[in-house]
Amino acid sequence: MKNKIAIVTGANSGMGLATTIELAKQDIQVIMACRDQKRGEQSLSIAREQSQSNHIEMMICDLGSLESIRKFVNQFKIQYDRLNILINNAGVVSLKRQLTADGFETQMGVNHLGHFLLTNLLLEELKNAEDARVVVISSGAHKWGDIYFQDPYFEKSNYHVLKGYGQSKLANVLFTKAIAERVIDHSISVNAVHPGAVATNLGIDRDTGVGKMITSMLKPFFKTPRQGAGTAISLAVDPQFKGVTGEYFYNKEIVPISRKAKDRRLAETLWIWSEREVGIRPLLN
C-alpha cells in the first residue's frame, strides 16, 4: 500500500475518522478533507496517534461550498499528481430545511452535489493512478427516494427530512452508476455502500448540536464507526474487489437496489442537471 494516496471526506469524526485511521495503518498517505479547521486539527492528532502514522494531513473542504471544494482540489493538485482512493463519506441529515452557501438544499447540496463536483475535478488524478477506487457512502434510504427535478430544493413544496434525505441518497447511487460507466475505459472502480445503522454525528445539527441526546440514547444499538466503515475500507484496498465497479454493497456483498436506482435515463438526467448546478462543462462523455 506504500505510496498510495487517499482522500476521505468528512474525516473529522465517525466513519470518516475511522476510515482515515485504518487506511493510515496500511501505510497509505491520507488527506482528511474536513469542514472545520479546529475540529479537523483535533481529529488529525487523534488519527495520527491511533494509527501510529505521520502520513496523514488535513485540508479544509466544506462540501456545502463549491468555492471551498475548488480551493481544496487546487491545493491537492499542487502537492499530488495522482489519487488512488477517494472515499466520498461526508453526509448530513437536516431536520429542517437549510441551504448551502450556494443556495442548494443542504442534504442534496452536501450529500450529492458537493461530492459530484469533487469527484469530477479529481478525475485526472484518479486516471493517473493504477487501480484507482472511488467509494460513495449511500444508504438504504435510497429505496424510498425520488429525484424532484421540478423542485429539488423544496422551495415550492413542504420540506420533510426523510424526503430530502432519500432524494440525496438515491442521487448517490445514480451518480455511482453514471460515473462508473463513464470511466469504464480507465482503471477506476466506483461503488456505492450502505453502511447500515452507525453511531455517528449524522443527524446532529452541525451548528446548534440539536440531536445529540437522541443519538447518544440509540448508540448501544448501532454499529461502531469502524464497523460501519468496514465495507468502504475493503472496497478501497482489498484485491478481491479490483475491477468491480458500478455496484451497491452492504456488509461487503453486492445487494439489490431500488428500481429507480437502476434507471439509466434517470441517472443521465441527474448527471446533466448536476453539471449545470455546480457549473462545470461535461468532463466525461
Mean pLDDT to the nearest integer, 193-211: 60
Distance CA 257, CA 140 (A): 8
Is 123 inside a domain boundary? yes
Report phi then psi at 76, rounded to 5: -60, -45
**φ, ψ of residue 9 in degrees (nearest 5):** -85, 155
- 22 belongs to a structural domain: yes
- Whether 285 maps to a domain, the answer reads no
Q: Is 232 exposed, middle or buried (0-12, 13-18, 19+ CB in 10 A)?
A: buried
With respect to residue 284, please indicate whether it lies within any of the assigned structural domains.
no
**Mean pLDDT score across all residues of the chain:** 91
The predicted model gives 9-24 an average pLDDT of 96
**Residue span of the structural domain in which 51 resides:** 5-278
Active site residue ranges: 165
Number of domains observed in the structure of the chain = 1
Judge whether 76 lies within some domain.
yes
What CATH number does residue 71 fall under?
A: 3.40.50.720
What would the grid cell of residue 199 be?
453511531
Instruction: Quote the pLDDT of residue 204.
Output: 44
Rounded Cα distance between 182 and 180, Å, is 5
Angle at 235 between CA 230 and CA 238, to 5 degrees: 95
Q: What is the pLDDT at residue 198?
A: 57
Question: To 10 degrees, what angle do helices 264-278 and 161-182 make?
Answer: 100
> What pLDDT digit, counting tens, does each position of 52-110 carry?
999 999 999 999 999 999 999 999 999 999 999 999 999 999 999 999 999 999 999 99
- pLDDT category, 1, cuts 50, 70, 90? low
